[in-house]
Amino acid sequence: MPTPLSMRLPEADIAIIDRAAELRGRSRTDFVREAAVRAAEEVLMTESAIRMSTDQFEAFKSAIAGPGMAVPELVEALTRQAPWDKA
């Protein structure tokens, strides 16, 4: 069940949030919730420790030290002519 969250913000902050939410076609609540969750996830990802065994770490080091592999979808996207460059 959703839990209410109340904030007091300056009018200038509300105005910019409302403008951005409108540009995205979202309500103020949806826009602020999405932005807050995205910011929280970013903090958790950058501040969380990744634990692995010695064997797992050696496998990880081997994987990143090896030669890179082309991703066909990225190659296609990066070699495709931009729509604004088409005649």
Q: How many residues make up the chain in this entry?
A: 87
**Is 76 a member of any domain?**
yes
Let me know if residue 57 belongs to a domain.
Answer: yes
Task: Please check whether residue 1 lies inside any domain of the structure.
Answer: no
Residue 87: inside a domain, yes or no? no
Instruction: Quote the pLDDT of residue 47.
Output: 92
Q: Which domain holds residue 25?
A: 11-81
Rounded Cα distance between 55 and 63, Å, is 12
**Is 80 exceeded by the pLDDT of residue 51?**
yes
35 within some domain: yes
5 domain residue, yes or no = no
Domain membership flag for residue 32: yes
| pLDDT at residue number 2 | 86
Whether pTM > 0.85 for this model: the answer is no
Tell me which of 63 and 20 has the higher pLDDT: 20
Q: What is the DSSP letter of 56?
A: H
Split into its structural domains, the chain has a count of 1
